[in-house]
Amino acid sequence: MSSSEKMNALWSYANPRKFLAVTERLMPWLWILSGACLVIGLVWGFFFTPDDYRQGSTVKIIYLHVPSALMAINGWLMMLVMSLIWLIRRHHVSALAARAAAPVGAVMTVIALVTGAIWGQPMWGTWWAWDPRLTSFLILFLFYLGYMALWSAIEDPDTAADLTSVLCLVGSVFALLSRYAVNFWNQGLHQGASLSMDKKENVADVFYIPLLVCIAGFVLLFIALVFYRTGTEIRARRIRALQARERAGA
Amino acid sequence: MIALLIRDLRLAMRAGGGFGLGLAFFLIVTVLVPFGVGPQSALLATIAPGILWLGALLACLLSLDRVFALDWEDGSLDLLATAPLPLEAAVTVKALAHWLTTGLPLVLAAPLLGVLLNLPAPGYGWLVISLALGTPALSVLGTFGAALTVGLKRGGLLLSLLVLPLYVPTLIFGAEVARRGATGMEATTPLLLLAGISAGAIALLPFASAAVLRVNLR
Amino acid sequence: MMPDLGKYADTVLSAYAASILLLIGLVGISLWRGRRVRAEMEETEQRMRRKNG
């Protein structure tokens, strides 16, 4: 197979019927695999890892906090790619996948924020600190909200897909700008912040392997949810089309 | 292009066009703040730059739904889209008109309101410079938001939800310039970053706004 | 069975509870809406077929 043929084979999944057929076959495996990874990872992390000498048992929150934060960002990136594909190649599935991913990404952002706040309470003595990373996630959540609100506000699906795609592009640029702006802003407030949020450093293997399993679980769950919800969106669109035909015929 | 600008400015100046409303809103917000936080002048001096920036931002937001609404209702937006003038240029002119009728008065009024909030003396120059550099970005971003929501019945609230996150970097750098200026700290770095954001937004966003308008007019 | 969570038991348990509830809620809503839409599509398709056939 030449590379262009391979590309064509890849694009054929953009056909809604083929997408539904393939995901239908994959769905059970994705659900089982993601569920297994999550259960193994979380049970391992919760029951069988030692406490950190400094943070005590709160270190166990890492198994929820880091994977959800990761998926919050990757969810937005995936929406960006899907929006670009829609704007350039006009595949309906990609626009609907972006729409399907937004609530999943938003929930991941909420999980990251909630676990962060709960973790921050005993560690920093406050539920909320305007730490650069926390703040950026809050802003990311606002972007998710705006994106979803725009989708639900517009009747015509193609118009909605176009507008939300452009919003996603512009939003990505400004979300990135906000990230750097927030870094700058908080340094301006108190030099050398004493609240180190870097958990990736000094994470020993005992914590690292269950963490990887949890991350795999979150990634798989994200994929499963997005596939499933995209299928729902495709069907909802088909219902609209059928009903329009019905009205036209009647 | 100039004709369009003059027409827009006339429309805004006319009674009911909304000119001055933003300014009045800015005044009211500034007056209300001391009622909310208490009259201690030291506290007011600390928060003055941020309050003034926030007030200007909200006043800007308030007038955004008027950018395209009138033209949409009477159909002149369709004429604009088919006119020989590229839609990108028309959008830029719209943003410029919005800035001249909303942003510029805010910049000029900010020092007066600074007196009310007990803004420290070195802060005035920085406040005006930061607003002068930042409000164009607010207008351009707002025009993008207005273009996104142009056909919607109750687009006002959605418009705020879409535009406010986009305002975050501008607000951060703008208020930082004003705050550092007021406390006598070095403020050129955030000022340059603010100018960069404004320049980038003015250069690139009209394309996005025009693309979005075309979709909405389809 | 339960590991000793020390003085942070509330913290850890509430973080797990909140996250798992959110995840279950998300999956539940997705599945619920998916089922409904699927049923509605089948119904609509059958109606169309009856009309045309």
| Phi then psi dihedrals of residue C22, to 5 deg | -60, -45
Indicate whether A12 belongs to any domain: no
Indicate whether A4 belongs to any domain: no
**Which residues from A are below 8 Å from C8, CB to CB?**
56-58, 122
| Touching pair B, C by Cβ (3+ pairs < 8 Å) | no
Q: How far is B11 from chain A (nearest CA, A)?
A: 28
How buried is residue A51: exposed, middle or buried, by Cβ count under 10 Å (0-12/13-18/19+)? Answer: middle
Indicate whether A14 belongs to any domain: no
Indicate whether A122 belongs to any domain: yes
For residue A193, pLDDT over 70 is answered with no
Q: Which of residues 92-151 of B touch A (CB under 8 A)?
A: 144, 148-149
Q: Which two tokens stand for residue A246?
A: 């019905």
Residue B119's pLDDT is: 87
- pLDDT level of residue A40 (50, 70, 90 thresholds): very high
- pLDDT level of residue B54 (50, 70, 90 thresholds): very high
Average pLDDT of the segment spanning B171-186? 88
Q: How far is C53 from chain A (nearest CA, A)?
A: 14
Q: Do B161 and A162 touch (CB under 8 A)?
A: no
Cα-to-chain-centroid distance, residue C38: 15
Q: The domain spanning residue A189 has which CATH number?
A: 1.20.120
Say what the ipTM of the complex is. 0.88
Indicate whether A53 belongs to any domain: yes
* A246 shares contact with chain C (CB less than 8 Å): yes
Report DSSP state, residue B99.
I
Question: Which residues, in sequence order, are CB contacts of B18 under 8 Å at separation 6+?
Answer: B12, B63, B66, B101
Q: How do residues A130-152 score in pLDDT, each as one tens digit? A: 878 888 899 999 999 999 999 99
Substitution target in B215, B216, B217, B218 with the highest count of A β-carbons within 10 Å is B215
Report DSSP state, residue A126.
S
Domain extent for A125: 29-249
Give which of B126, B133, B120, B131 is closest to B26, Cα–Cα. Answer: B131
Give which of A190, A248, A199, A215 is closest to A64, Cα–Cα. Answer: A215
- pLDDT level of residue A197 (50, 70, 90 thresholds): very low
Specify the range with the lowest mean pLDDT, choosing from A99-108, C21-30, C44-53: C44-53
CB A100 within 8 A of CB A151: no
Q: Which two tokens stand for residue A200?
A: 């990736």
pTM of the predicted protein model: 0.88
Q: How do residues B180-203 score in pLDDT, each as one tens digit? A: 888 888 888 889 999 999 999 999
**Which residues from C are below 8 Å from A249, CB to CB?**
51
Work out how many domains chain A is built from and give that number: 1
How large a percentage of chain A has pLDDT more than 70?
A: 86
